Amino acid sequence: MPGYRIAWVTAVALVAFPMVIAPALAQPAGIEWLPVERAPLVEKVRLDGVIEAVQESTVSAQTAGTIMELPFDVDDRVERALLIARLEDTEQRSRLRQAEGNREEAEASLIDARQQFERIEALYRRDVASRSDFDEARNRFDAARARFARAEAAVVEAREQLDYTRVVAPYNGVVTERHVEIGEAVRPGQPLISGFSLDELRVIAGVPQRYIEYARDSARLTVSLDNGRVLPINRVTIFPFADAESHSIRVRLYLNEPTDGISPGMLTRIELATNERPALWIPADSLLRRGELRAVYVRDRQGDPRLRQVRVGISDGDANDQRLEILSGLDPGEFVAARPGALFERNAKKSRKLTSPWPISWSVFLVPARAKSRV
């Protein structure tokens, strides 16, 4: 039993030894100290949005016919007023010629009726023609004039039907879908080609109703892509009603920059600034993470670094200048060490060297004591 006591005393001494000398480890020189700063924290609500084109439409046929030409396909860029579909126009041209013939006939009848009316009117003023002859000539002239107007309208309609056989792009854009193929017979109202314009885009998002008043100020809104690119906005449109299921209110955010690399359907991240409160901040690279541990090296009165556990809140800033909110563990005016990982590893190595000054295992002290007790 005395052997065991000697072994345990030795073990306790070895365990206690590093606790005594650990604070006395020589600290590395040239530590960069960063201040703990108090600055306002703007609370933000993060939302998801979808980019859509302001001008997006499907062009439909306005007359019946067979598709004869489709110059563009999906993903082709089209300029305004270019031909995007052509229908067979034999029937429309025939109707136009017929309408023009009817107009010429109506015009001839109108000229004859006008001449007859002018002669009867002159005779009526000299009391040579009767009142009934005058009224009859005037009625024939009015009827001829109405038939000519009707024939003229028929020509305009026939010409429009002929123009409908040539479908042109309503704006500069990109073809997204082709609903028909060459040789298909189409009817009025049947979709032909869909597309959208990239000249003006907007972001659609649903904002919870308790934050809708903040969303009316475009300066509080920040739109960004997954790669971190920020998309400035110039105006906001808020729908006058809420969604019945989600109880959120739809908001349109119109982008005011060139749309290179941006396409409708892409997801965006929206940050809506709401309340503002004071907070403590440290640079993000001054935080030490080891498993569940979150700590920093704080400079004490002697200028030495002391490891202290902290509670961390949200992060703010971009990848090059990110800062962390400190909920507890630090006070304003204190200083924390930059790059604490390297400092932690150097101290750990020195601690291991000091706690094992001799290359002897624990069994050296325990085995002789056990042997002596058996004797």
Q: Which residues contact 279 (CB under 8 A, 6 or more apart)?
A: 38, 39, 40, 41, 313, 325, 326
pLDDT digits (tens, 9 = 90+) for 15-51: 333 333 334 344 455 788 999 999 988 888 999 999 9
Long-range contacts of 350-354 (CB under 8 A, 24+ apart): 350/25, 350/26, 351/18, 351/22, 351/25, 354/18, 354/21, 354/22, 354/25
Half-sphere exposure of 134 (CA within 13 A, CB side): 11
Structure-token match 């028909």, residue found: 180
* Lowest-confidence pick of 88-102, 338-352, 357-371: 357-371
pTM of the model: 0.63
Q: Which residues contact 244 (CB under 8 A, 6 or more apart)?
A: none
Determine the CATH number of domain 45-55+200-276.
Answer: 2.40.30.170
Domain extent listing, the chain: 2-13+22-41+278-369, 45-55+200-276, 59-88+169-199, 95-164
Question: Residues 281, 58: contact at Cβ < 8 Å?
Answer: no
pLDDT digits (tens, 9 = 90+) for 298-338: 998 888 898 999 999 888 877 677 899 999 999 998 999 98
Determine the CATH number of domain 95-164.
Answer: 1.10.287
CA 166 from centre of chain: 36
pLDDT of residue 351: 62
More confident position, 219 or 343: 219
pLDDT of residue 258: 67
Topology, domain 2-13+22-41+278-369:
2.40.420
Q: How far apart are CA 76 and CA 57, in angstroms?
A: 15
Over residues 341-354, mean pLDDT = 69
| Domain 59-88+169-199 architecture | Beta Barrel (2.40)
pLDDT of residue 9: 35
* pLDDT at position 293 over 90: no
Average pLDDT value for the chain? 84
Q: Are strands 33-35 and 288-290 parallel, antiparallel or unpaired?
A: unpaired
pLDDT of residue 162: 95
Length of the chain, in residues: 375
pLDDT digits (tens, 9 = 90+) for 136-158: 999 999 999 999 999 999 999 99
Q: How far apart are CA 228 and CA 220, in angstroms?
A: 18
Q: How many CB atoms lie within 10 A of CB 249?
A: 19
pLDDT of residue 209: 92
- Please give the DSSP secondary-structure letter assigned to residue 27: P
Amino acid at site 304: D
Q: How far apart are CA 52 and CA 126, in angstroms?
A: 77
